Amino acid sequence: AHLTAGLAKLGEAAGKVGELSQQAGEQQTLLAEKQEQADEALQRITVSMAAASERKREVETLQVKLGREETDLNERKGGIEDELSDIQPLIDAARKAVGQIKSDNLNEIKSLKMPPDAIRDVLEGVLILMGQTDTSWSSMRKFLSSRAVKDDIINFDAHTVVPRNRDAVGKLLQEKGASFEHQNIYRVSVAAAPLAAWVKANVKYSLVLEKIAPLEADLEALTASLATSRARVGQCEADLEALDAQVVELKAEFGRRTGEAESLKLSLQRAHNQLEAAERLLGKLGGEKDRWEEQVTRLEGTLRALPLDSLLAAGFIAYLPALPEDQRQDTMAQWTSFLGVERFDLRRFMSSESEMLTWKAEGLPGDELSMENAVVILQSVQAPLIIDPSTQACLWLKAHTAKHDKAALETVTMHDKRFTNKLELAVRFGKTLVIEEVDRIEPILYSIVRKDLERQGMRWVVQVGDKAVDYNDSFRLYLVTRNPYLTIPPAAASVISEVNFTVTRSGLEGQLLGLVIQREQPELEAQKSHLLQTEEHLKVALAGLEKTLLQTLATSTGNILENTVLINSLDETKAKGTTVKESLEESTTLQESLDEQRNAYRPIAARGSKMFFITRDLRALNHTYQFSLNSFVVLFQAALSEATPTSSLQGRIDTLSAALLRLVFAHVSRAIFNADRLTFGMHFTRHLAKEQADADAWDHFFGLGGADADGAPRASQARRVGASAPGWVPADAGPGYDSLVAAFPAMAAAYDFTNGPAWNDWMKSPVAETGVPARVSTRASTGGSGAAFEQLLLVQALRPDRLESAMVSFVCTQLGVTSVAPPPLSLARVCEEAGPASPVLFLVTPGSDPSQELEEHAAKTRGRGRYHQLAMGQGQAAGAMRLLAECARTGDWLCLKNLHLVVAWLPNLEKEIYVLKPHADFRLFFTSEPHDKFPASLLEGCLKVTYEAPPGLKRNVSRTYEAWGHQYISDGSVLRAKLLFLLAWFHAVVQERRAYVPQGWTKFYEFSFADLRSGAEIINQACHGGSEPQWPQIHGLLERAIYGGRVDSAYDVVVLRTYLEQFFSNEMTGGGGIRQRCLPGTGITLPNSAHHGDYTAMLSELDEANSPSLFSLPVNVDRTVQVANSKHVITSLRTMAVAAGVASGFDRDAWLAQLQPLLRAWDRLAGASPHQRTSRASAGSLAPGMAGGAQGSTPVDAFVELEKTRGHAAVAAVERTLSTLGRVLRGTELLTPAVFAAGRVLMEGAVPAGWEKHWEGPEEPMAYCKAVVHRMSAVIAMAERAKGGEGVLLSKPVRLEDFFHPETFLNALRQQMAQQAGVAIDSLVLVTGWGAGAAVAGGAAVEGLRLQGAAFDGTRLADTASDAPPYTPLPLCTLAWVVPERPGAGGGAGGGCAPLHLPLYLTPERERAIADVQFPVFDAEECSKWVLAGAACFMGAQ
């Protein structure tokens, strides 16, 4: 209103300026005109005064004449009056009588049908006198019916009576005189009596008038002459008065003209003065006027947008606070687009800049998310549930609410004993209650958050538990939790407002930038804060001055240009406003300069924010890999403190980045297990490498790529470039080569793959990762990726056995770290980092326990008796709580072990820790194995350290001897001491062999210290009393009762048994007079002693690092391990890569980007051949009877038909899933729960259960599709070949990898050979014949098999070379089922020893064996050698 009124006044003033300018010119001209008019008026005064004198003389003459005429007129009038003096009273009396006639009397006469004669006579006389000739009764009635009949009679002028009518009436009076007598007529009619008198009087009056007519004529002439004279006198007098008035007017006009001229002079001067004031005023207020007009326009727009903005604000507060920042932005973008709102900012709409500055000063982070949440918390009608993992919001809330009234603030936790009491008091007395550590909405709170108020008299009450408590309107309730994964039931979600403070990348970047500035240039942050406050104060001052200006303008009355006091006040206010505005502009400019200086440090803040969110991705690998923002901020501050200052800003930023990366990398590496450290390093490198690789290159590395940039299948691109694998590429590396060249065609030219000698040498190099042949082209061949990553892709494709080493080198080079492993564990440093309020969580593996080492460190640091530990289990919770409270009070150290056994109790422990007020020296330690139900908030709040058994056989045995001690070894015989050492060695071997999974063991077995302890008891019993040990008994107990109980693979049991027979024998102890053998892989024999020191001294001769020979593994086993480890790393990286795209909901764009390569690849694969197109079209309608095969066909032929049917079903399942997904992603079909579930599984890089129901193939979708198509094509080809007749199919070698179910093929072959031999199936055994000459009638020639752990030339097994590939091809062999006693059932003799049975596995992971393949050996020792070497057979690669 003030703006509009002020602008109106300014507009009025501007209009008056124009008017004044115009009037000043007009008045200058008018002044001369007025002077001339004054002179003219003076002349006219003289003329008018002369005319007035002449008129006065004429009036005097006429007045004398008029006196004479008036005397004569009076004399004649006297004569006439004498004549009329007798008749006039009669006329007046008659008139009066007529006037008194009542209307009822007249109506009575009118109502007569035939009137009496007297009435008729009277009315006839009346009518005749009044000039009417019709004297009928109807005419009389008509006359009487007139409303003005009495007035007409009374006002009748007798001068109008003509003599003829008078004579007629006189005659009537004579003839009917009795009718006009008063007594007679009165009796007849009361109304007619006055009329009769009137008739008689007017007849007489007419006669008198006729008599005095000459006198009246003379009188009329005299009267006319007198009137003429009087008129002339009046005219002359009027002329005289007019002349006098004219003279007066002319005098007045003369005076007025003279005054106007003088007034014009004064007005002209005043106009000049006002014009100067107006121009001065408008010149000073011109800027304000423009700004005020803009404000008015903006305010009008704001008012128009107010309903929609209010709707958006209400929607935001009601629905969005629980969402993360990116989802909020997306939702608001949709809402604003739908409503047609250009821009909406909740912070500016619901708060001011000064409020947000105050919140920031109170400790609230300054990022957008935190500010929005603060608005919601303070403006929401419902009770807020604040999800605050970092506790920053909770601290701000307490500071904010306590600022006004600290006594009105109450904080309590849900498990506080006084919770109910504090709640009641807060509700009753209107306090602000902050409930912390909320893990659920307690029933007692529902009536409060719903505001179920009841009226009791003049007060409101609410039910709190079983009490009705007075409700105070000032009561405020805030619920706070650190758990970001809190589950809120629908009943509670509708009555609370969930506010999510989970940090976002942009928000964290802002917080870290503030930390950087505080450390690097604290004056910038201080100036920034001061400027913001100053700017806010200046804005407030400017707004106040403008308000004063506007109010002064708006409330002014009259012409503001004439209001001197107002103009002076406006001048003074304007001067102040100009000063404030200049200060504000200067402040804004300075603030922009400060922002530029601040933004110079933004790269390190952005990098830090990126690091934090990269570490959070590790949760996809292991639930325990949870890292809190607070711990990261501590690391960030440590990096700022440790980094060495440099002269240049960019150098400083680089130094800070390197220091931060080193600290974060070491911190996270220390908190994750060794198996995941390389994965973490690669994940870090992917996002933070010096040479960034593009997304396509990484997708190819993860195995997620399927199509090139233009959408064409990559394999077809490979065919376009005509690439074929060079001769130096081994067969097993061919698929990798083809895939690499298909994905990046330019790589073949860039690295000159035609240079065979160089690449051949590289393929044989033991350190291939360091010697990749140089590029011959500097142009990037992988879409912008660095040369280092290209080399990594080359190693992955062609030398996967060195990929793990290549990844380690890649990580160290790109990140600038020395190792992917953290620095050696220092308990002193860990305890220093932890602090009294930060527990240390040791993540352990089975068999590892840091408590002893921790106890020793505590004894050195705190002294004996100041360290307490408690192994958790059933019934230990109460004791743990007591110990926790006591140690926190006294400053002792406490270790709670095996928390994974009590995960249900851990939320209570976490709450207790949160409310502790610990002693400064208090430290809390936990040990736990990973557990998916471990509370995430507790994990984040702990300093995590992984504690694994140190790698290396030497460390393992040494750790055992540290636990046993000197006395334990010496308490017994020398044989017992030897057996104990062999047990420790055996235990270390079976544990360390797990590092070579799947060749060492097929899976990871949890051999623990408890197994060792149980084994030692068996040794003690076996050596009791000095008796010789019973080796079979020892073997059986250790195998079946202890170690073998953990092994679930029959082939691993064979390995375990072989180890037992090797170690626990006379050959190792020297018993029975047999020469003592050295420990495998060493030149060490056991000392003939029972002294602890002799055995530990012997251990000192061993190398720290493990050697394959220690475990009887082949020298090239490291290649196999590297292949397995690198697969694990890539699988883990793929899991993290796709985890971001797998959300709780369906995101069409994200799903399309992730799944489109698979969909395109499937279209290419399934549509590449007519067989596949037929399979896709007909698989859904196959008759179940097809599975039985043709009538009379052989079992193998029937199996092929069954495989064909199964293949059709598998292809159809894949087709249904992917085609439906394609239609859903294109928007032509609705999303169903089944399709969503399948798509989600595919997004995670896994195979849907619907596919595995038909065939359990590769675990990765792309590999599964390729395998299905490959097998389908092969099975169709075999089915066509089988149509040639019985035995045609097996006339040529088969490849087991071409079947969907190769184990079923072997069973079909068994059934077929049993039918041919006419024996029972159960009586047959599978035998292997090597070479073309060893074929067995009816058997199947098999090609493409591979061997791991040894080499085989068709006659004997041999050791592999150190540079040999992990797999060696096996020659053609024959698999046949024969009766055991028949020739050939032995599988070939070698020194008369039974053949070696090696498992034939479906996959390199050794998850499932389908048969035993027999190899010739010469003795049992050789057989044990290959068993311990982990030798096994595998089907060929596709």
- The whole-number mean pLDDT for each consecutive block of 10 residues of the chain, a chain of 1438 residues, reads 61 64 68 69 72 74 73 68 69 71 73 80 81 80 77 78 81 80 80 81 78 71 74 75 74 72 72 68 61 71 83 89 84 90 86 81 84 90 88 89 82 86 91 89 88 88 89 92 84 88 82 82 69 67 68 67 65 68 72 76 89 89 89 89 77 88 92 92 87 79 58 39 71 83 82 86 86 70 66 90 91 89 85 88 84 87 89 89 93 93 90 87 93 90 86 85 88 91 94 90 87 91 82 92 91 94 90 84 88 90 86 89 88 79 67 84 76 51 43 82 92 93 90 89 87 89 89 91 83 91 94 91 91 75 92 92 86 90 51 83 91 92 93 84
DSSP 8-state code for residue 1006: -
Question: What is the 8-class DSSP label of residue 1318?
Answer: T
Helix (H, G, I), strand (E, B) or coil at 631: helix
pLDDT, tens digit, for every residue of 928-973? 999 999 998 889 889 999 988 767 888 889 888 888 888 999 988 8
CB 952 within 8 A of CB 1104: yes
Burial of 1100 (0-12, 13-18, 19+ CB in 10 A): exposed
DSSP state, 928? E
Q: Is residue 459 helix, strand or coil? A: strand
Q: What is the Cα–Cα distance from 1390 to 53, expressed in whole angstroms?
A: 176
Detail the DSSP E strand segments found in 1055-1110.
Answer: none
pLDDT at 716: 39
Q: What is the pLDDT of residue 768?
A: 86
Burial annotation 1184-1207 (CB, 10 A radius, 16+ → b, else e): eeeeebeeebbbbbbbbbbbbbbb
Instruction: For residue 1055, give every residue at least 6 positions away whose Cβ sits within 8 Å of its Cβ, in sequence order, or none.
Output: 1001, 1427, 1428, 1430
Asked if 628 contacts 938 with a C-beta cutoff of 8 angstroms, the reply is: no
pLDDT at position 663 is 92
Query: What pLDDT was estimated at residue 167?
Result: 81
* pLDDT tens figures, 504-515: 788 888 888 888
β-bridge partners, 923: 893
Cβ count within 10 A of residue 533: 15
Non-local (6+) Cβ contacts of 854 within 8 A are 827, 867, 869, 895, 925
Contacts 24+ apart (CB under 8 A), 211-215: 211/83, 212/79, 212/80, 212/83, 212/84, 215/76, 215/79, 215/80, 215/83
Please say whether the beta carbons of 528 and 591 come within 8 A: yes
- State residue 283's pLDDT score: 62
Structure confidence at residue 542 (pLDDT) = 64
Local structure of 473: helix, strand or coil: coil
**For 583, phi and psi rounded to 5 degrees?**
-65, -40
Distances (CA, A) of 752 to 757, 781, 782, 1218, 1433: 11, 12, 15, 39, 35
| Sign of the torsion formed by the C-alpha atoms of 1004, 1007, 1008 and 1009 | negative
